[in-house]
Each structure stands twice: as C-alpha cells, then as structure tokens.
Amino acid sequence: MKHHKKLLVVLITGALASSSVFATNGYAPHGIGMKSKGMGGVTIAHQGDAVAVGGNPAGSAWMDDRLDVGIDLFRPIREAEISDSFASFLNDTYDGSGSKLFPIPEFGYRRGLNDQMAFALSMFGNGGMNTDYKDGFPLFNQTGSRTGINLSQLFIVPSMSYKLNSNNSIGIGLNLVAQGFKAKGLTNFDNPFFSSSPGNVTNNDTEWSYGAGLRIGWMGKVSETVTLGATYQSRTWMSEFDDYKGLFAEQGDFDVPANFGAGIAVQATPALLIAADIMRIQYSDVDSIANSAFNLFELGYPLGSDNGPGFGWEDMTVYKIGFEYQLNPKLILRAGYNHGKAPIPDKETLFNVLAPATVEDHLTLGATWVLDNDMEHEAIKLGFRKRVSTGLLKGVLGRHHDKQIGQGM
C-alpha cells in the first residue's frame, strides 16, 4: 500500500507538471484508459482496466482487484490559414505547433470491499485547447511574439460501485478537477475597448482553478452475451481564473460541461467482443465555451463580461465502436472508430484558431501482450484532418489533425 501511495503522488505531480493534455472530441478525451483508447473510446458497457472506471463508475463491480498505470505520448499538429480579400495583407498559413510532444500519465486502482461493493480510483488527463504560434498571429498581436493558449486538466475520480444483484450494478464517483490555463500574445484584445478587465487577458503565466462534480452509472447484463450501460457526468463547477477574468466570460469562469451516454457490449463469439457507445457533451451550457465571438463584434459585450464572447462551441454527439479479439492466451487485438461532428460552427473560426478542435473521425488500434511481469498494452489513435472555414472576418480558416500513441502496464 505504501508503494501505491508513492506511485499516486508521482503520477499526480507528473500530470500537473505536463505542459498540456489533449483530446479531440471537442476537448473531451476520445477514451479513458489505454484499452478504451484502443477500442475507439468505449467505456460505458465494457471496461478493460481500472482507469476506464472514470467513464462509468458502475464497472468496477465486475472487475478483479488491479492496478493500472499508463502514459500517452501525444503529437498534435495545429495550423491556421487566412485567405481573404477583406484582409489580404494578413493572408498566410500559420503554424500553431510550436509545442509538439506531450506526455499524459494515467492511473487506475480497484479494490473489492466485499462481494457486493468495490472502491476504485481513476486519474486521467482531459483537455485539448492548446496552440503555440511561435512566430505570432497578427489578428492577436502586432509584434510577432508567440501567440497561443494552453489548457490542461487533471481528473481524479474516486468512486464506489454496488452490485444490486447478479446482473446489475450501480456506481457513483466524484469528479475532482484541477485545471491550469495560460494565454500569451493576445495583446490586441488587452485594452478597455475589447476587455472588461484589461491586464487580465494575456501574458499572466499559468493560473490554476479547482472544482468538483458527480458521475453516476449503471451496468447490466441482460443476457449471457449482452451487457448494457448508462452514465451521467454533472457539470463540474470550477473556481474562476482570476488572472484571466478579462478573457473568459463571467469574469474568468471555465466550468467543465456535463455529458451523458449509453453503451452496449456484445460477446459475439468466445474470442470476439464488440462494444459501442453514444455520448452527448453539453458544451453549450458553459458560456465561456459556448458564447459567440459576435457577442463582442456585433452586440458589444467585452471579453470577460457576463455575456462576453467565447469560442462559440455547440453541443456534440459522439459515436464510438470498438472490437476486441482474443488471438491467443497471450495476445488480444483491438480496433475502433470514433466520430463526432466538430463543435465549431463555420462562422466561429476567429477565436478558434486558438483552440482548433476540428477533428471528427478517429481510427484506433490497440493490443495486449501479457508478459510474466504483467506489462501488457499499447494503443495508437489517428485523427483525420478537418477544415472549418468561411468564418468571422471572412477569412479565418482552422485546420487541425493529430496522432496519439500511448503505452501502459
């Protein structure tokens, strides 16, 4: 147990020190846990490790005791292009990938308390709003200094599960969230004309925010081969980013949006398992994410005000399907597909060159190779390039694609 405590402290420290965490279902993770990520992100009705319990806390009721540790190595590519006669002097392609490779640790632990109850702890990174235009971006500053933002989030989810009977379980967990944010090079907006709090818009180093919410879930075996699941994550109420209260709506508010979903897992053959999830992410409930940039340019609400502009994101529905095949006692193969329409409307490209969450389709691969020391898994995710164009100022175009690899044990 002392070893487990020391390991957890190291992982938490490492996650908070990581320069960013990423995802591409908007800024939500495409999956929770290495095995989930190898299967397109499914977690609601099928879970392969204790980290995935963070997706549905009812799942730990059906696991054996286990400890899981993993790390993602994430390599996103961010790029924006301005091409319009309205501001032809700005026309160019801008590379937002000044920061390149990001390690993201994860941790999971499950322990049965008796035949009906189990405790689990899941820790994982969540985020995806990072850009680093090392040569600047002229819409945001005139000096050519580095321009971009960085949002990193750490979820720690302690949970309890309870078997109602031999086929059904429920679970409840806390979302304990720490998030850090930093903006640089947004000096064109750091003045009384654009912001309700000049001096709290940009170049203020990393500011930390903390909050909590709830996760609840159900998992039920409706037959020997079919399992269903459902989950709900409440809005996570966060403390405000005081150093950026002139940037985010409602004086620096940046809550984590609610989501809910359902899943099914089918043991099609003794060797083949197929699982699918559908999830709805409620980005539109958080003003700093959902408010339109036109709140500033057409309605006159400055950055940081109650109705101040945000990224203009809409709610997002994500579809996931995964396959797991037991090739032999030592080797399990996984594959998956994940799709969700990008939450960025065409008209909202201006501020989203800072957060180009445009990827809609992902293919994933994974494998478990069981060794004598129980090291077992690695996964690969590919996100496909997606354009969002014809936006504000008639000429801001965001493009983003990514590749993520991970390894766990």
Report the candidate in 401, 399, 400, 394 with the shortest Cα–Cα distance to residue 90: 394
User: Which residue is associated with the tokens 């992100």?
Assistant: 41
Asked if residues 176 and 192 have their Cβ atoms less than 8 Å apart, the reply is no
pLDDT attached to residue 377: 54
User: Which residue would you say has higher pLDDT here, 393 or 150?
Assistant: 150
| CATH code for the domain of 74 | 2.40.160.60
User: Which residue would you say has higher pLDDT here, 324 or 389?
Assistant: 324
Alpha helices (H) in 224-371, listed in sequence order: 249-252, 287-290, 294-297, 349-352
pLDDT attached to residue 370: 78
Measure CA of the first residue to CA of the last residue in the chain; give whole Å: 18
**What share of the chain has pLDDT > 70, as a percent?**
77
Share the mean pLDDT of the chain: 82
User: What b-and-e string marks burial along 133-146, b requiring 16 or more CB atoms within 10 Å of the CB?
Assistant: bbebbbbbbeeebb
Task: Indicate the number of domains in the chain.
Answer: 1
pLDDT in tens, 160-185: 999 999 999 999 999 999 999 999 99
Strand partners, 68: 108
Average pLDDT over residues 107-126: 95
3-state secondary structure string across 169-207: EEEEEEEEEEEEEEEECCHHHCCCCCECCCCCCCCCCCE
Strand locations in 83-202 (E): 92-95, 102-112, 117-130, 148-163, 168-184
Radius of gyration (Cα) for the chain, nearest Å?
21
Cα 23 from Cα 118, distance rounded (Å): 29
pLDDT attached to residue 25: 80
**What share of the chain has pLDDT > 90, as a percent?**
56
Q: What is the DSSP letter of 58?
A: G
pLDDT in tens, 250-269: 999 999 999 999 999 999 99
Cα 226 from Cα 310, distance rounded (Å): 42
Cα 117 from Cα 62, distance rounded (Å): 10
pLDDT attached to residue 402: 35
Cα 329 from Cα 319, distance rounded (Å): 30
Element (H, E) at 332: strand 331-340
Which domain covers residue 386, as residue numbers? 2-408
Whether the pLDDT of residue 4 is over 80: the answer is no
User: Which residue would you say has higher pLDDT here, 149 or 319?
Assistant: 319
Output the six-digit token pair for 265. 């897992």
pLDDT in tens, 48-107: 999 999 999 999 999 999 999 888 776 666 666 666 545 555 656 665 555 566 677 899
pLDDT attached to residue 90: 62
Whether the pLDDT of residue 385 is over 50: the answer is no
Q: 314-318, 387-391, 401-405: which has the minimum mean pLDDT?
A: 401-405
Average pLDDT over residues 124-152: 80
pLDDT attached to residue 367: 87
User: Which residue is associated with the tokens 């170049």?
Assistant: 203
pLDDT in tens, 215-259: 999 999 999 999 999 999 999 999 999 999 999 999 999 999 999
